[in-house]
Amino acid sequence: MQVKAPRGTYDILPQDSVKWQYIEKIMRDSAESFGFREIRTPLFEHSELFQRGVGQGTDIVSKEMYSFNDRSRRSLTLRPEGTAPCARALIEHGIYSGVMPVKWYYLGPMFRYDRPQTGRYRQFHQFGVEAFGSNSPYLDAEIIILLVEILRRLGLDDYELHLNSLGCSVCRDDYRQKLLQHISPFKEQLCQDCQQRYMQNPLRVLDCKMETCHQAIRGYPIFYDHLCPYCQEHYSRVQAALQANGVSYIHDNNLVRGLDYYSNTAFEIHLPGIGAQSAVGGGGRYDGLVKELGGPDIPGIGFALGMERLLLALDMLGKREFSKPSLDVFVVVMNDAYEMQGLQLVSELRRRGIRADKDYGGRSGKAQMKYAGKTAARFVVMVGEEEVEKHFWTLRDMQSKEQRQLGQEELIDSIRSVIETK
RNA sequence: GUGGAUGUAGCUCAGUCGGCUAGAGCACCAGAUUGUGGCUCUGGGGGCCGUGGGUUCAAGUCCCAUCAUCCACCCCA
């Protein structure tokens, strides 16, 4: 049995890596234009970081972590998300004692043990941003504007932005009590899953798909109506700021993010039409996280975008064509005897900034021409007996089929004059 | 973790009710007189029929298991 890539992982081959480079550049440029700078944290961390930072009750910690003991029996975990590591780094380096807010972005693989499906992998990639040290609602809005801007630059304008407020720890606990009180009498009528949710995270009962559950809990109190004055004010300012910037959103009472550290603003962005895993990004405010991890009580907010899902969307909905980078010149050596001259020529062309390659298969001139055609090289330079004897090169323009005999400097100049105007 | 579909060449697939050395298209390689690409023609290489077991005189085909992929649930990115 041959060895294959592990379940839920895959190779990104050159034809696809150009797409990755394309979206990565858009993300970096966008984030940097908003004043974010890149941070790179380790791919694995002490398991404890995620247990405390993400939360014991979450799906991520309870069943999706890739954890292992290293040789000195420390429990380590391949990072399932990027926020907790950023918070850890912020604390570890005392960054919070400098200029605030701290605005970081990151880009890279995340790991979750989940059942693979289209748009869902065990090693997947996220682009994310985090801003620490400000609880201004306008920062919340700015973060969302950045998210939307990235989608716009990618040409994926047809999104749905869901927005909600999860309140602060005070009004959330308050609401939770009210909700439990409301549901309690109908507990028996809930589905199996919801009976569980009732115990662990009653807010999740609200977006159960089962009709019977909807019926059972109808008339339930709406969180929106129970936010404390501070949280209400915060949320309405976020909304006003989004409106003022022309960002349309859907207020969604049922949006309950899975990670424990969220507070106040929470959002999720969907691209309908890419299958079941339509959430391409999500995020929110996590004002308690840094303190929870042993740092000072400073607020934070961020989001993460799923790169695979964006790529999927680009393939399915995008209009963009990706041209593969092609060679400028292919050097055809007509006779084995002149291999050395051919090699010297490609090397010189490459030194002069020309993308050049040659054949190493010892193939016939005709076969090399054929191969040159496939590489879509603009020019072929022929190296044979006549060229070497008479000190010139034969340059063939593969588009016009014109051929000229040129000295080396003329050759380079004439290649450059064409490729530089491209 | 639950339910369903599917696994035959690098890719897309055909292969009847079990019955010859398992096929096609594309891709790849080579030729079509002498140093020249794309088109055409000819030829060639390449398959433990996902893997393991079972039924049978005989299994790509039937049965079981297992692995993987896909779809949905769940959850999210």
Q: Mind listing the domains of chain A with CATH numbers?
A: 14-168+228-317 (3.30.930.10), 329-419 (3.40.50.800)
Q: How does residue A73 score in pLDDT terms, banded at 50, 70 and 90?
A: very high
Q: Residue A193, CB, less than 7 Å from strand B? A: yes
β-sheet with A356-358: strand ranges across: A356-358, A329-333, A379-383, A393-397, A403-406
Residue with structure tokens 């049995």?
A: A1
CA–CA gap between residue A27 and residue A305 (Å, rounded): 10
Q: A337-375 in b/e burial notation, b at 16+ Cβ within 10 A?
A: ebeeebeebbeebeeeebbbbbbeeeeeeeebbebbeeb
* Bond from prior residue into A229 cis (ω within 30 degrees of 0): no
Report pLDDT for A105: 98
Mean pLDDT of the region A25-35: 98
Q: What is the C-alpha separation between A150 and A40, in angstroms, rounded?
A: 20
**Mean pLDDT computed over A368-374:** 93
Measure the CA–CA gap between A374 and A131, rounded to whole angstroms. Answer: 48
Per-residue confidence (pLDDT) for residue A422, from 0 to 100:
65
CA–CA distance, A323 with A422 (Å, rounded to integer): 13
Q: Give residue numbers, 2 to 21 of A, with CB < 7 Å from strand B.
A: 4, 7-8
pLDDT digits (tens, 9 = 90+) for A256-312: 776 777 889 999 999 987 888 899 999 999 999 999 999 999 999 999 999 999 999
Q: What pLDDT sits at residue A58?
A: 83
State which residues between 146 and 165 of chain A bring their CB within 7 Å of strand B. none
pLDDT tens for each residue of A169-186: 888 888 888 888 888 888
Nucleotides of B under 7 A from a protein CB: 1-2, 28-31, 35-38, 50-51, 67-77
User: Please, which pLDDT band fits residue A98 given cuts at 50, 70 and 90?
Assistant: very high
**pLDDT score recorded for residue A210:** 67
pLDDT bin (cut points 50, 70, 90) of residue A253 is confident
- The average confidence (pLDDT) of chain A is 90
The HSE-up count of residue A172 (CA atoms within 13 Å, CB side) is 16
Coil/strand/helix, residue A34: coil
pLDDT band at A161 (very low <50, low <70, confident <90, very high): very high
Number of Cβ within 10 Å of residue A204's Cβ equals 16
pLDDT of residue A174: 85
Which residues are paired to A69 by β-bridges? Answer: A75
Using only C-alpha atoms, chain A has a radius of gyration, in whole angstroms, of: 29
The distance from CA A290 to its chain's CA centroid, rounded to whole angstroms, is 23
Residue A319 — pLDDT band, cuts 50, 70, 90? low
Query: So what's the pLDDT on residue A1?
Result: 56
Note whether A110 and A235 are within 8 A (CB). no
Interatomic separation, CA of residue A16 and C1' of nucleotide B9, rounded (Å)? 24
